[in-house]
Chains A and B, each alone.
Chain A
Amino acid sequence: MDALKNKLPPIGQLGPFIALAIACAFFAITTDRFFSPENLSLILQQVMVVGVIAIGQTLIILTAGIDLSCGMVMALGSIVMTKFAADLGLPTPIAVLCGVGVTALFGLTNGLLVTRIKLPPFIVTLGTFNIAFAITQLYSNAQTVTDVPDAMTWLGNTFPLGGAAVSYGVVLMVLLYLGAWFWLRETGAGRHVYAVGNSPEATRLVGIPTERVLLGVYVLAGVFYGIASLLSVARTGVGDPNAGQTENLDAITAVVLGGTSLFGGRGVILGSLAGAVVVGVLRNGLTLMGVSSVYQVLVTGILVIVAVTVDQLSRKAAR
């Protein structure tokens, strides 16, 4: 029995795929358009922003932290890059870099507050969540930035793939996942992220600079949010000051559904991709069924609690 248990992947790692299969089956039965190529393309477009945010979020949750500011920071990044291009007339690459710089700066701020002043990540990022939101509204005057250069929305262009239209942004998302997966799995720095989340004391005592690992993770997460900003601009074609509100919880839901433990040190990043797809499928399917968006929020809320409960119970069972 024990030998069998060791061979099977923990239930947490299968969870997102089971949930995905159930959701797909459900929507395939209840709606007739769900499995159409156009709809599947649409789901992927919708998933790419949350998906890339979820990479950053996974890194942070692996260190037993959490980032509540991710969606708001992403929105700020997209306002900065679109306004820098539209108002200041900066070339697209520079404007994009500025946007990513701002999100990375927010990551650095979160990281410094967590490592230097030892504040709980939950509180720190709740604070920066509000700060990022306020700056976004102030800087944009709560106005959508519409004058976006074409180059900035290039990642939203699509190419045909087996009847579906896949955007370059989706390809980028998949590449980023593969890169993050490789880094976490095959490099020393990646393994140290797991070690810090799993046992910070043991990690410090073997001489790994745990604070530097943590700080690096928060900055890296900020960079991923910045890339998500660009994808958000590419998908919608505008800089939207009200973006990021659903992405915030969706990204955390994706990570937890994906089997990464909120207690840190356990999880596989590719699970977060599956988790993000589950969230996307749910939102899309519910829309197809004509369910109002308020109920989608309700479902996401319930889903995240169910996923966290499964995580908690499976950890207890493992002990």
Chain B
Amino acid sequence: MTNPQLVMQAKGLTKRYGQVTALDGADFELRAGEILAVIGDNGAGKSSLIKCLSGATIPDEGDIVLDGKPIHFKNPMDARRVGIETVYQDLAVAPAMTIAENLFLGREVRRSGFLGNVLRMLDKTKMLEQSVARMQDLKVGIRSMTQAVETLSGGQRQCVAVARAAAFAEHVVILDEPTAALGVKEGNMVLELIRRIRDKGLPVILISHNMPHVFEIADRIHVARLGRRAAILNPKKISMSDTVAVMTGAMPPDQIPADCLAH
């Protein structure tokens, strides 16, 4: 098998909180153009892993490599600066502000010349045009970028958050439970969007509890267990119930049929 290009790689990540070891030498690999699902029981270390990758926490030990270069994030802004965008569950948007404002929140585009440099005036027209272009590019079917996010359905809101991440991420998009709390139709809308992001060439890390969703769109499944990576599974070969068994420890990694493992 050929070895596809690795976008992000972590080795031996360790994170302790007092007596509790959240990460115990976890490895991680993300390939170019894939959707990698990260699953695991509560306390398996998946949120700690994601926090290390997105800059929200600093690992005690271990290395993270992005595009072959070692990186050391001190905060989420560092991660964002090198092109890793994260969408956090439920907290991603400011409801009273418009879609365009939300897309550019914290990255506002100023006018040129005196109006922008001295009066610090924003270029609302340009931001609006770019919002329309980016949302069309990702085929998010929302009519007006000037409507407040609170007028949208839950799925559309999540699409705005995911689209924002995709629009600004240069390397990796991390999605934390993007389909939780959404209905079937709404969830599918977000899944469609995630697929389009992958098809545009951006690798996606998807943290989810929703097994059907994971099996629907993931290319590979990273199973976190006891602070380590228990296995990388191939969703096209392994069954959902076996996956749950690996996740809970009912099936030890060495008993997984070889063809069910992803490489």
Q: Which residues of A line the B interface, CB within 8 A? A: 6, 182, 186-189, 191-192, 194-195, 198-199, 201-203, 205-208, 265-266, 318
Contacts and interface: CB of A to CB of B under 8 A. Distances in A.
Nearest to B121: A186
A187 B76 contact: no
B91 A201 contact: yes
B93 interface: yes
Nearest to B106: A206
Contacts of B76: 205, 207
Nearest to B111: A186
Nearest to A183: B120
Interface size, B (range): 20 to 34
A207 B94 contact: no
Interface in B146-190: 147, 150-151
A205 B91 contact: yes
Which of B80, B97, B107 counts the most A-chain CB atoms under 10 A from its CB?
B97
Given A205-B76, A205-B91, A198 B106 contact: no
A37 to B, nearest CB: 36
Interface of chain B: mostly helix, strand, loop or mixed: loop
Contacts of B105: 191, 195, 202-203, 206, 208
A154 to B, nearest CB: 28
B122 A191 contact: yes
B115 to A, nearest CB: 9
B101 A202 contact: no
Given A186-B122, A187-B120, A208-B105, A6 B91 contact: no
Contact of B93 (A187, A191, A199, A207): A199
A187 B147 CA distance: 19
Contact of B106 (A194, A207, A265, A318): A207
B108 interface: yes
Nearest to B78: A207
B95 interface: yes
Contacts of B119: 182, 186-187
A38 to B, nearest CB: 38
B81 to A, nearest CB: 9
B65 interface: no
Interface string B105-129: 1111010000000011110100000
A208 B106 contact: yes
B108 A191 contact: yes
22 contacts: A6-B151, A182-B119, A187-B120, A188-B120, A194-B97, A198-B96, A198-B97, A199-B93, A199-B95, A202-B91, A202-B94, A203-B105, A203-B106, A205-B76, A205-B91, A205-B92, A207-B76, A208-B105, A208-B106, A265-B96, A266-B96, A318-B150
Which of A189, A191, A194, A203 counts the most B-chain CB atoms under 10 A from its CB?
A191
A206 B91 CA distance: 10
Contacts of B108: 188, 191
Contacts of A186: 119-122, 124
B88 interface: yes
A195 B94 contact: yes
B121 A187 contact: yes
B94 A265 contact: yes
Which of B93, B94, B107, B124 counts the most A-chain CB atoms under 10 A from its CB?
B94
